[in-house]
Structure 1
Amino acid sequence: MTEGQNDVNNTELLDENVWEGFSKWLHCICVVTFDLELGQALEIKYPKHVELTDQEISNICYSAFPDSNSGCMGDTQFVIRLPCKSKRELRSEHINYNNNCPPALRIDEGYIWGYVYFRQVRDINLPRGYFQKSVVVLSYLPFNNLFNKICSYVAPEYFEHGMKCLEAICHNIERWPPPNPGVNIGLPILGHVFQTCIPINSVRGKDSAENKLLTQVEQLNFFEVFKPVLSHIHLLWELVITSEPIIVMASSPANCSKMVLALTRLISPLQFCGDYRPYFTIHDSEFKQYKQYSSKEQFPRFPPPVILGVTNPFFAKTFHNWPHTIILNDDVGQNSKYKLRKPALTKMIEVSSGIYSSYKPFLQKDKNIIKKLMTGVSSNRPDEAQSALLRKHLNELTHSFMYPLERYIASLMPLKKDISAFKAPPIPSPFNPENFFTTLDTGGPQLTLKNTNIKGDWIGLYRKFFRSRNFNSWYNSRYRELSQKLQALHTEALSNADLKNWVQDRPEVEVVDMILRIKNKIGECDSHIQVNDTVKQQLNQRMQDVVTSLPDDLKNILKVS
């Protein structure tokens, strides 16, 4: 390697180290412009050392502008979510963040979020007669409210003051404290301070996101978004919790991205585990993949669990066979009430708002909550209060649905008395749907719902849920937690075992095997088995209890003393 190459590599390393704090919050900031020859093109990427693949750049550029048919003049804000072809490893701060934040706010290293601020205004001095640019804040953190507010502050500053302003913004972000759930954080930027608090997982402690003085990292006006489809909210809840594929068609990326994000939060605190793209274009690298599910040759092959937000009328023709479609007109959020229509009517889909689906819900509507919300409309109840009422109802519905499952999976845990230091650690019992159903008579969701009693085919809904990606992800996570708990209990049992007596008159091969098992446990305590320092110290002592019985030559071979 030449001296010049060394200098270049050292500079790149210096850049990465300099931006250590910045990368805890953002990946980079991009500016996308319209080029007469290239179309939408990346004008600026800052910091410069950050790597983006050609495909990622293409997806960012095409997703950074509203569709040409939407005619968005002035300033428009929306959210995009793009796949990363090569997963980037999570930083230690992000691993800690994921362990403590609510499931819906966890980082998925396979995707990156883009918070877009697009400006289109007349400018006779430019060749096309328009100024068209987007500032895109890229992050792995799903903070749609916080980053949209930050973007709405910094983008106009950049449009007015240019590159020096963007550099100053990034250097401000570099000095931010790491994202730490449950801690009030001040985020200074261009003389303005955004006060925020990332909520902590409600299972692990009290949710601190209720502090209304703070800028919440995520905030959706549920009532405003769902108002036109309010009478079908329970249908939408079933579609989302069972990972059904949905397309949201709207006239602007702002409207479709709000609806997609709100749909994924319908089942909170359960995490929606299908793919979802708040704003999706025909230029996206995965467009062909999704298009195949709407061709006559492929149908009725079922699409994957995905929620797509689109604006191009081309989708109405190309995706007319999609199982569930929500059409939003420009009157979204007003007093319109959308009808439930059969997919067969979708020849007029581009002009008729509504929900297009032949899905038959398993559960009956809770008419009481709908009546309360409509009463709130007539009495001019604030949207914030309406949203809180709707969120509370949906949260209780999801809790009541998941509670019997949480209780049942806890019963799969072996008894503590069955855990022996001298046997392999036990594993959780397998999940048996039929056994689970027998528990519903005395503790099913129809009995645990507060202030209501939603009737219907709960078992049928559970059977469908068991075939969904949401269930697979939830079950794998819970099974992993049970297994880790059993490993921790087995480690504690080993640390408390009387190995001095056990080792007496034991064959040398058994003693060696025990030493290797203890060494392996000590190593796992430093990685994925969570035990306290006392247990670790006792494990090391148990190692010494066994090692003293070995001859010196075997100690040397095993590299123990």
Structure 2
Amino acid sequence: MGDTQFHMRIRQSSGHSNLLPEHITYNQKCPVYLQVDPGYFYGYVYFRQVKDKSLPRGYFQKSFVMISRLPFVRLLMEVCALIAPRYFEDGEASIEAATHEIDQWPSPMPGELLTLTLLGTVFQVHIPGQSNKSGAQVSPSSTSEHCISAKAYTSLTLNVLPSLCEVNIFKCFSPVISHIHLLWELVLTAEPIVVMATSPTMCSEMVQALISMITPLMYCADFRPYFTIHDSEFREYTTKSHAPPPVILGVTNPFFVKTLQHWPHIIRVCESPYFATSTKHKPKNGSNVKLVDSKPGVYTHYQPFLHKDKNILKKLLKGIQTKRPSEVQTALLRRHLLELTQSFMIPLERYMASLMPLQKNISPYKAAPVPQPFNPDEFLATLGTSGPQLTTGIKGDWMGLYRRFFRSTNFSGWYNARYHEVHQKLQALQLEALSFADMKLWVQGKQEVEVVDMILTIRRKLEQSEIENLPLSDSVRDQLQSRMADIICTLPDDLKTVLKTS
């Protein structure tokens, strides 16, 4: 086989899913689709198998595996590819040297450019911040004021990565490019999917490409880039006693062809570079097992809600004929998928914003209000005037697609994250209103217990705002400290002393 690279995702055993403080800080500042999931680890694998007649089995065979919570697939696969060959040749000494350098790396900070030195190579990569919600990647080379020139490291190799986790999606989807819109719907609605491939590299890259189709929306269901019969969830995912769970599995073992034939959606890929004209198969239960095992394509009964965008398909197919570089094809396809996802999400974001209470109704002396509940029927009624047709020319049953989306884990994950953001915003607005309130006027006629309770409440909210990283400016925090001082001045001396020292 030579050298092979792939990655996997491993569920952590229950009761041991606490994040490090650095991970919590990182999650608070990065886009949701790049957050660390406390329930999972990623494994980045470099496997070498070469002939060696001096060994009993006739082969040198060894794996190098890195485990991380960070979903930085592209970066960490590059790091793995740099360390593993040295380890195979020099043993543990190379790992000690790499570990020493990695220990000097800064913590991942969203919104910043990372410069990471390792074994004679300098990696540069930008981590998007929350402000970059479009999902568009910022190329490190575009941040010239921070970029290290090759001259600065004459003895080192400079490796500028365009993204943390993206794979070449055109290379992955080229065998099934005519079904790209169908696949986007399946991923959007978190349908159970099996990717069957002939190598761990192919299946892990395809699974990674699938979950990235809906960026910047986070794929909230489970996914296993490389799944084997030895995984602890094997029985859970292969049983026929209940419907398959919402998960994307990448497999290579032919055993899965029969074991998972009851799954509703199967993608079969192979080594050939292009099968752009491959058809969508509709196997009946218990039939066409040999077909799935041999012919690449998409096997499903699913009927898409939306029509295909023939323009992008023609452009990509023409690119195949003219041998357009794969990187350009990937950029075209990724932009199309990004715009499609944005067209789908903009009405939802707009409706979510309408659930916010008016700022004028936020009282400085009462608890922060809560958003109105999400009403699917009310949302669907808005599509006629503010639906996806305003931003995309793709036609179809958008309403039916939204209804299916509402039943998925992707919707619940998005809604919970947005509700948390809105809740934090309302907390911040209430504190901002309190910072501008005339507390000297408010305190008149109040009992001492009410005044003390207000002071303790402001203190508690300020402490909580630090813990939860509320979007609160330093000026508002300073004003709240001044408001507390205004109130304390109205109390008897003994209470003043107690409150100032507590």
The aligned counterpart of 1:75 is 3
Runs of 4+ residues over 4 Å off in structure 1? 204-207, 551-561
Partner letter of residue 185 of structure 2? E
Q: CA deviation at 1:361?
A: 0.8
Q: CA deviation at 1:150?
A: 2.3
The aligned counterpart of 2:141 is 211
Deviates more, 1:209-218 or 1:281-290: 209-218
Q: CA deviation at 1:210?
A: 6.3
Measure, in 1, the Cα distance between the counterparts of 2:28 and 2:450: 38
Alpha carbons 1:201, 1:207 under 8 Å: kept: no
Q: CA deviation at 1:372?
A: 1.1
TM-score w.r.t. the length of structure 1 is 0.81
Alpha carbons 1:75, 1:117 under 8 Å: kept: yes
1:264 to 211, 215, 233: 211
Deviates more, 1:232-241 or 1:145-154: 145-154
Q: CA deviation at 1:284?
A: 0.4
1:228 equivalent to 2:178? Answer no
The aligned counterpart of 1:347 is 289
Q: CA deviation at 1:91?
A: 3.5
The aligned counterpart of 2:223 is 276
Pair 1:479–1:75, CA change in 2 (3 A): same
Pair 1:338–1:210, CA change in 2 (3 A): farther
Q: CA deviation at 1:130?
A: 1.8
Deviates more, 1:138-147 or 1:354-363: 138-147
2:305 to 357, 362, 365: 362
- Per the alignment, in what secondary structure is the counterpart of residue 218 of structure 1? coil
The aligned counterpart of 2:97 is 168
Structure 1: 5+ residue runs without aligned partners?
Answer: 1-72
Q: 1:296-375 alignment to 2 at 5 Å?
A: 298=241, 301-331=242-272, 333-335=273-275, 337-344=277-284, 345-348=287-290, 349-375=292-318
1:91 equivalent to 2:55? Answer no
Q: CA deviation at 1:390?
A: 0.7
Partner letter of residue 160 of structure 2? L
Measure, in 1, the Cα distance between the counterparts of 2:297 and 2:268: 5
Pair 1:534–1:116, CA change in 2 (3 A): same
1:477 equivalent to 2:417? Answer yes
Q: CA deviation at 1:559?
A: 7.6
Partner letter of residue 375 of structure 2? N
1:143 equivalent to 2:72? Answer yes
Alpha carbons 1:247, 1:308 under 8 Å: kept: yes
Measure, in 2, the Cα distance between the counterparts of 1:363 and 1:408: 22
Pair 1:511–1:81, CA change in 2 (3 A): same
Measure, in 2, the Cα distance between the counterparts of 1:158 and 1:465: 46
Alpha carbons 1:80, 1:113 under 8 Å: kept: yes
1:447 equivalent to 2:376? Answer no
Q: CA deviation at 1:355?
A: 1.2
How far does the alpha carbon of each residue in 1:522-548 deviate from its partner, in whole angstroms, 9 at most, with x for none? 322332233223222322332233334
Q: CA deviation at 1:322?
A: 0.7
Q: CA deviation at 1:76?
A: 0.9
The aligned counterpart of 1:421 is 364
Q: CA deviation at 1:182?
A: 3.9
1:134 to 60, 63, 80: 63
How far does the alpha carbon of each residue in 1:128-151 deviate from its partner, in whole angstroms, 9 at most, with x for none? 222111011222222222222222
1:121 equivalent to 2:64? Answer no
- Per the alignment, in what secondary structure is the counterpart of residue 4 of structure 2? strand
The aligned counterpart of 1:430 is 373
1:154 equivalent to 2:154? Answer no
Measure, in 1, the Cα distance between the counterparts of 2:442 and 2:131: 44
Alpha carbons 2:139, 2:161 under 8 Å: kept: no
Q: CA deviation at 1:161?
A: 1.1
Partner letter of residue 440 of structure 2? K
Total equivalences in the alignment: 479
The root-mean-square deviation of aligned C-alpha atoms, in Å, is 2.2
- Per the alignment, in what secondary structure is the counterpart of residue 350 of structure 1? helix
- Per the alignment, in what secondary structure is the counterpart of residue 474 of structure 1? helix
- Per the alignment, in what secondary structure is the counterpart of residue 525 of structure 1? helix
Alpha carbons 2:363, 2:430 under 8 Å: kept: yes
Measure, in 1, the Cα distance between the counterparts of 2:316 and 2:456: 63
Pair 1:544–1:149, CA change in 2 (3 A): closer
- Per the alignment, in what secondary structure is the counterpart of residue 526 of structure 1? helix
Structure 2: 5+ residue runs without aligned partners?
Answer: 143-158
Measure, in 2, the Cα distance between the counterparts of 1:517 and 1:530: 18
How far does the alpha carbon of each residue in 1:423-477 deviate from its partner, in whole angstroms, 9 at most, with x for none? 221111111112212221122102212xxx1111111110111111111111111
Alpha carbons 1:79, 1:257 under 8 Å: kept: yes
Measure, in 2, the Cα distance between the counterparts of 1:204 and 1:228: 30
- Per the alignment, in what secondary structure is the counterpart of residue 214 of structure 2? coil
Pair 1:204–1:263, CA change in 2 (3 A): closer
Alpha carbons 1:200, 1:208 under 8 Å: kept: no
2:351 to 408, 422, 431: 408
The aligned counterpart of 1:513 is 453
2:234 to 287, 291, 300: 287
How far does the alpha carbon of each residue in 1:73-96 deviate from its partner, in whole angstroms, 9 at most, with x for none? 211111111112144443344334
Deviates more, 1:81-90 or 1:119-128: 81-90
Alpha carbons 2:141, 2:160 under 8 Å: kept: yes
Pair 1:361–1:210, CA change in 2 (3 A): farther
The aligned counterpart of 1:180 is 109
Measure, in 2, the Cα distance between the counterparts of 1:192 and 1:507: 67
TM-score w.r.t. the length of structure 2 is 0.90
Pair 1:178–1:558, CA change in 2 (3 A): closer
Deviates more, 1:422-431 or 1:337-346: 337-346
- Per the alignment, in what secondary structure is the counterpart of residue 482 of structure 1? helix
Q: CA deviation at 1:556?
A: 7.2
Pair 1:175–1:380, CA change in 2 (3 A): same
Partner letter of residue 482 of structure 1? V
Alpha carbons 1:137, 1:151 under 8 Å: kept: yes
Measure, in 2, the Cα distance between the counterparts of 1:102 and 1:558: 40
1:376 to 304, 310, 319: 319
Partner letter of residue 214 of structure 1? V
Measure, in 1, the Cα distance between the counterparts of 2:425 and 2:177: 42
- Per the alignment, in what secondary structure is the counterpart of residue 82 of structure 1? strand
Pair 1:242–1:553, CA change in 2 (3 A): same
The aligned counterpart of 2:153 is none
Deviates more, 1:548-557 or 1:437-446: 548-557
2:335 to 392, 398, 414: 392
Q: CA deviation at 1:398?
A: 0.2
Q: CA deviation at 1:506?
A: 2.2
